[in-house]
């Protein structure tokens, strides 16, 4: 089974600074998709960013960007100019074509004012 | 606005009781999913359904049951066979299992055994 590993249970960042959350995954597939979800205290899951494995270009959404290293099976999330509203649990997820989504255990991000 | 509605937000179950969690979507999505969230374990798949009247077990289906009689609805029943049901339950949907779509999630149901 595919597994997703987030090695940082907790991270903290100073407001306006940059932080990177790590994610690695295990798969033998070549065609798949990767996602980062944010879960704030309300517990509503919000899609932050997605990446197609066949695309070499790293995805970017405003202050959020990824560093996708396919050979290393690594998919880290970089948050620039961190804001207080970024404080949340962040989940990395993997989805293979014709299959369901697999999630990591999550990283709790704290933003310090 | 379209979305997924889960109800109730909080649910309490006595030992030996079955309870049903509701999940309704008006997004015209084909696939629906139930996940369980426990601290430190991320989200684990309970059941999923790609089309009406069809569903498959996920990784932790024991003690749970589902139905998919309508495209919009995918209720989850937590039976008395589920020995540790206290958890946060999330329902999700996606337009099509084949495509590169993330999931749309409901706001969740917190189930507590009393």
Mean pLDDT of A2-26: 95
> Which residues, 6+ apart, have CB-to-CB distance to A51 below 8 Å?
A33, A34, A35, A58, A59, A66, A68, A75
CB A102 within 8 A of CB B103: no
Confidence of residue B97 (pLDDT cuts 50, 70, 90): low
Does the beta carbon of B103 lie under 8 angstroms from any beta carbon of chain A? Answer: yes
Which pLDDT tens digit goes with each residue over B49-68?
989 999 999 999 999 999 99
Confidence of residue B100 (pLDDT cuts 50, 70, 90): low
> Cα–Cα distance between A16 and A28 in angstroms, integer?
38
A4 and B42 within 8 Å at the Cβ level: the answer is yes
A45 and B90 within 8 Å at the Cβ level: the answer is yes
Partner-chain residue, chosen from A35, A44, A106, that has the shortest CB–CB distance to B42:
A106
Helix (H/G/I), strand (E/B), else coil: A86 = helix
* Structure confidence at residue B95 (pLDDT): 83
Q: What is the mean pLDDT of chain B?
A: 91
> Cα–Cα distance between B15 and A108 in angstroms, integer?
32
Which pLDDT tens digit goes with each residue over B25-52?
999 999 999 999 998 778 999 999 989 9
More confident residue, B36 or B102: B36
CB B62 within 8 A of CB B81: yes
CB A110 within 8 A of CB A9: no
> Cα–Cα distance between A86 and A10 in angstroms, integer?
14
- How much of chain B exceeds pLDDT 90, in percent? 73
A98 and B48 within 8 Å at the Cβ level: the answer is no
Mean pLDDT of A66-70: 95
> Cα–Cα distance between B77 and B67 in angstroms, integer?
9
DSSP A59: P
Mean pLDDT of A47-64: 92
pLDDT of B2 strictly over 90: no
* Structure confidence at residue B40 (pLDDT): 76
How do the residues of chain B divide into helix, strand and coil, expressed in percent and rounded to 5?
A: 0, 45, 55
* Structure confidence at residue A98 (pLDDT): 67
Cβ count near A76 (within 10 Å): 18
A91 and B98 within 8 Å at the Cβ level: the answer is no
Most A CBs within 10 A among B9, B59, B100, B104, hence the mutation to make, goes to B100
Confidence of residue A2 (pLDDT cuts 50, 70, 90): low
Mean pLDDT of B65-85: 95
How do the residues of chain A divide into helix, strand and coil, expressed in percent and rounded to 5?
A: 5, 55, 45
pLDDT of A74 strictly over 80: yes
Partner-chain residue, chosen from B33, B43, B98, that has the shortest CB–CB distance to A97:
B98
Could you give the residue ranges of the DSSP H alpha helices within chain B?
none
* Structure confidence at residue A29 (pLDDT): 85
* Structure confidence at residue A108 (pLDDT): 96
Sign of CA dihedral B65, B57, A108, B38: positive
pLDDT of B1 strictly over 70: no
Partner-chain residue, chosen from A47, A100, A105, that has the shortest CB–CB distance to B41:
A105
Confidence of residue A85 (pLDDT cuts 50, 70, 90): very high
* Structure confidence at residue A100 (pLDDT): 82
Nearest CA in chain A to B106: A44
> Cα–Cα distance between B19 and B7 in angstroms, integer?
12
Which two structure tokens, joined as six digits, stand for B75?
Answer: 């209720």
């Amino acid at each position: 089974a595919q597994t997703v590993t987030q090695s940082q249970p907790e991270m903290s960042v100073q407001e306006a600074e940059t932080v990177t959350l790590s994610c690695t995954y295990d798969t033998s597939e070549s065609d798949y998709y990767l996602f980062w979800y944010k879960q704030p205290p309300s517990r509503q899951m919000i899609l932050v960013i997605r990446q197609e494995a066949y695309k070499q270009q790293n995805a970017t959404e405003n202050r959020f960007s990824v560093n996708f290293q396919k050979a290393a099976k690594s998919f880290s999330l970089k948050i620039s100019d961190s804001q207080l509203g970024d404080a949340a649990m962040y989940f990395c997820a993997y989805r293979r074509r014709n299959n369901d989504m697999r999630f990591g255990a999550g990283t709790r991000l704290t933003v310090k004012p | 606005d379209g979305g997924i509605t889960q109800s109730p937000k909080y649910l309490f179950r006595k030992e030996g009781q079955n309870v049903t969690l509701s999940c309704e979507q008006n997004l015209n999505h084909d696939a629906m999913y139930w996940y369980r969230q426990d601290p430190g374990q991320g989200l684990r798949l309970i059941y999923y359904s790609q089309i009406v009247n069809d569903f498959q077990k996920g990784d932790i289906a024991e003690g749970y049951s589902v139905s998919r009689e309508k495209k919009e609805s995918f209720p989850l029943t937590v039976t008395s066979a589920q020995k540790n049901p206290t958890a946060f339950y999330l329902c999700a949907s996606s337009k099509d299992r084949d495509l590169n779509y993330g999931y749309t999630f409901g706001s969740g149901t917190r189930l507590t055994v009393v």
